[in-house]
Amino acid sequence: MTTPPRAPALPAVPLALRLERRRARLQFLACRTLVRSVRFERLRTLGGWLGELQFRLAFAPRRRMVRELAALLGRPAGDPAVKAQMREAYRSNDAAVLEVLKMLDCRQDEAMLLAQVEVEGVETLQQALAAGRGALLVPGHSGNAALMVVRLAAAGVPVSMVYRESRMMDAGLFQRGLAFYGIEGILATDGLKAYGRMLDALRRNRVVCVMADQGTKKARDGTVFRFLGKDMPMPMGPAQLARHADAPVLPVAMLAARPRWRFAIQPPLAREPGASLEADAEALLRACEALILRNPQGWSWHHRRWRRFPLAPADRAQG
């Protein structure tokens, strides 16, 4: 009797990576324990404190990001106003992370949540849906966009939210949490299955909320574009989806973090007849970039999928 060949052994995970994953998991568990003991209304303040601490401790990367932001804005590298914008970005986005975790971990009172957010341009979105082809809503990594989606769902807008699950989080956290508020969740990493679900949602005349303003995890999954001064692989999915469904694309601007989150839905992007997929993706990225630079203190500059890339030489500050 012939012994079947053994399956090849999987390569061992490097120790440094195992330790990093364990650290991330412990960090997630600590944050979850923390938010469970604090009322939602207090998380904005608590997150601001944690963001301030992170800003102060991340000395070297923070200094580099401040220089990069100054270069993008055409300001001197030591401009104190730029440093203040970066500090506020840490504060507001760390607060948003805690709020999202609280919202997804346990259903919150809807009236209380709605008091924490304002969304301008809902009528613009509803007009876009009138054509019956659905709509792509494209917020950025700026503040608590999940809370904006809760506001839309409460207003009767049929909305599906595309999300990614971090390895450190509990499996199904987003799917279960979004369902608390009548939001359809679509796991982005399901590949063609996820794309099919997004396309189906658009064909059912739903709003598909998807982010497009961070680099892809793996270079092969994106196309290299210049974005916020860095050459990095960016996702083509949103532009491809809009072309496939002939659906309008509406970017979202974050206007303020306090006293409540304020978002503004922009008019649909114009689509050039006969334009290539790359041209459509470029137009979407330029629109996102313009909204970010209009209010740089709102964007998550310390997100690893932007900060790990160097500024392209042509965009470096001179002198």
Residue 42 falls inside a structural domain: yes
Residue 133 falls inside a structural domain: yes
Residue 1 falls inside a structural domain: no
pLDDT band at 35 (very low <50, low <70, confident <90, very high): confident
> Which residues, including other chains, have CB under 8 Å from residue 32's CB and lie 6 or more apart?
101, 105
Residue 1 has pLDDT above 70, yes or no: no
For residue 177, give its domain range: 16-313
Task: Point out the least confidently predicted range of 45-49, 169-173, 289-293.
Answer: 169-173
Can you give the pLDDT at residue 317? 43
- Domain count within the chain: 1
Q: What value does the mean pLDDT of the chain take?
A: 88
Can you give the pLDDT at residue 27? 66
> Which residues, including other chains, have CB under 8 Å from residue 178's CB and lie 6 or more apart?
104, 146, 161, 163, 184, 185
Mind listing the pLDDT tens digit for each residue in 181-199?
999 999 988 888 999 999 9
Give me the CATH number covering residue 34.
3.40.1130
Residue 20 has pLDDT above 90, yes or no: no
Mean pLDDT for the stretch of residues 141-155: 95
Closest by alpha carbon to 298, among 121, 86, 150?
A: 86
Residue 8 falls inside a structural domain: no
